[in-house]
Structure 1
Amino acid sequence: MSGHNLSVSAVTPEDVSAVSPALAAYTQAAIVDDLWARPQLSRRDRSVVTLAALIARNQTIGIQHYANQALDHGVKPAEVSELITHLAFYSGWPNAFAAIMVVKGVFAQRGIAADALPAVSPMLLPLDEAAEATRAAHVAAQFGAVFPGMVRYTTELLFRELWLRPDLTARDRSLVTVSALIAAGQVAQVPYHLNRAMDNGLTQEQAAEVVTHLAFYAGWPSVFSAMPVVKDVFEKRSTVEDCPSR
């Protein structure tokens, strides 16, 4: 899809019907009429999850439609911009640049100017020094001797800068990250980030619905690979919460 195509969607229902009437029917009945109406996630959250999945999978054909839809559902231009910046670190710079070329056209069509976008160097949110020290020490102990550069970038760029940028809430950053990890099949990284998401305010019901939503945008195999991992996180948190305090 060209970044200069300023229509609302790159693929119309008529396009789909011309090739696969059955797929058009499933799209309308299962996704438009049912999935997006489910109350477990707001349409705003579903838009964030969908954009994260598409960028993580470098599926630019859908970004134009869902970027427009995200803006219609209350995601701010600054949040769309920051979502792409965040995913450069979690899905790679090429995927982020591919999304940029599509979203640039969406912003132009809507008259969204630079003053609506995040600052390059904003005042960062407060850091939980104790939690970050624990995380950094754990990673350094595991990998510092072998991958010192990676450990430094992870601490300095991700957890002492990216995660503290104010134009996405901590919950939204976690929502973006978990969605991208599941969509990309990176299930080994899900436990840490899902726990962080739930610590940041994502409920178990919402997290479960993220998985359901992603089945339609990342495919059933990606979701079934993630389900045992997500279920294990839920069960371990439930066990901890059920333990009496000492």
Structure 2
Amino acid sequence: MKTRILATAFALAGSAASAQDLSATLPDSVGAVAPALSAYATDDLFASVWADETLSVRDRALVTFAALVTRHEAGNLATHTELALDAGVTPAELSETITHLAFYTGWGNATAAAEAMAPVYEARGVTAEDLPALDPDLLPLNEEAEAAREETVQSNYANVSPGVVDTTRDILFLDLWLRPALEPRDRSLVTVAALIAAGQPEQMTFHLNRAMDNGLTQDEAGAMLSHLAFYAGWPRVFSAMPVAREVFENRAE
């Protein structure tokens, strides 16, 4: 019922939803146990952050979904799967997101996400035809960028773990990143969101640059940080802020 309200809101408002509509996703028990938390969620997170059009509601739903998968918050994923679908993320895009995040957050997180999402997909009549192909025609490879990435990884880590170097090249960058079911910008978006949610800002420089090369703007990246402060916590976001600042400053030069 709560997510049906969201569906109506998204359908009527296009990309915007009211704080009251988003509040429907908050369990009633939160207000009974922590009324101040409920007020912050309604007045600040829903009425202000989600309403900020710097980042679309669709992108916010995808970023939130990625953060929940990363943090193994499977108990919240059914509701946020519904929210993302109602915001315009397709079943194929969510499927591809958890496949992608298995490599960046761990197999267990992706498996738990799939288990939480399965009843939602069943209830909505999602079939195998709605999901990404197992062996699709891959997107074109940016050979120059891949050669630079491979050279960096080879020079730094070939003597540490050739297996990691090889599978990073063959499975991730010559296969996973080229799958067409998730646009390159969205794939980068969920990767950066996952790194922030996992508290791994040291991995962000490469991926935030890649995200911006794929079309994410600086304003959108900044809005993503503000959004994730609520879902991953202020300490993780403040750990990511210096990395984001350095990326922005270097790209401005």
Q: Could you say which structure has the greater relative contact order, defined with CA pairs below 8 angstroms and 6 or more residues apart? A: 1
Deviation at 1:12, TM superposition (A): 4.5
In the TM superposition, residue 61 of structure 1 has moved relative to its aligned partner by 2.1
Where do residues 217-232 of structure 1 align in structure 2 (5 Å cutoff)? Answer: 217-232=231-246
For residue 52 of structure 2, what is the amino acid of its counterpart?
R
**C-alpha spacing 1:30/1:226, structure 2 compared with 1 (3 Å):** same
Offset, 1:11? 6.9
Determine whether 1:210 maps to 2:220: no
- The correspondence for 1:106, drawn from 120, 123, 136, is 120
Q: Is the Cα–Cα contact under 8 Å of residues 174 and 196 in structure 1 kept in the other structure?
A: yes
- Partner of 1:157: helix, strand, or coil? helix
Give secondary structure in 2 for the equivalent of 1:34. helix
Q: Is the 8 A contact 2:2 2:25 kept in 1?
A: no
Contact 2:195 2:203 (C-alpha < 8 Å) held by counterparts: yes
Query: Secondary structure in 1 aligned to 2:240?
Result: helix
- The answer to whether the Cα contact below 8 Å between 2:3 and 2:25 also exists between their aligned partners in 1 is no
The percentage of aligned residue pairs carrying the same residue is 54
Tell me the amino acid that sits aligned with residue 203 of structure 2.
Q
Q: 2:133 aligns with which of 112, 116, 119?
A: 119
> 1:87-143 CA distances to partner (integer Å, 9 max, x unpaired)?
000000000001011111111121111110001111111111121112111111111
Q: Distance in 1 between matches of 2:57 and 2:166?
A: 37
Contact 1:13 1:24 in 2 (8 A): no
> Contact (CA 8 Å) 1:51, 1:66: kept in 2 or not?
yes
* Residue pair 2:188, 2:211 contacting (<8 A) in 1 also: yes
Q: Write the letter of the residue equivalent to 1:238.
A: A
2:17 is aligned to none
Are positions 1:63 and 2:63 aligned together? no
- 116-125 or 14-23: which moved more? 14-23
Q: How does 1:93-242 map to 2 (within 5 A)?
A: 93-239=107-253
TM-score when scaled to structure 2?
0.89
Kept after mapping to 2: 8 A contact 1:84/1:99? yes
Query: In 1, distance between residues paired with 2:246 and 2:121?
Result: 40
- Asked if the contact 1:57–1:184 (Cα under 8 Å) also holds between the matched residues in 2, the reply is yes
- How far 1:70 sits from its partner (Å)? 0.4
Residue in 2 aligned with 1:242?
A: none
Q: Structure 2: any 5+ residue segments left out of the alignment?
A: 5-23
2: CA distance between counterparts of 1:159 and 1:111? 32
Instruction: State the one-letter code of the partner of 1:115.
Output: E
Deviations 1:33-92 (A, max 9, x none): 111110110000001100111111111122111110000000000000000000000000
Shift of 1:234: 0.5
| TM-fit CA distance, 1:23 | 1.1
Report if the CA contact (8 A) 1:78-1:117 is conserved.
yes
2:97 corresponds to: 83
Tell me the amino acid that sits aligned with residue 201 of structure 2: V
- Return the alpha-carbon distance in structure 2 between the equivalents of residues 56 and 24 of structure 1: 24
SS of the residue corresponding to residue 123 of structure 1 reads: coil
CA contact (8 A) 1:40 1:205 kept: yes
Q: Distance in 1 between matches of 2:208 and 2:173?
A: 16
Query: Taking structure 1 as the reference length, what is the TM-score of the superposition?
Result: 0.92
Distance (whole Å) between structure 1 residues aligned to residue 26 and residue 156 of structure 2: 49
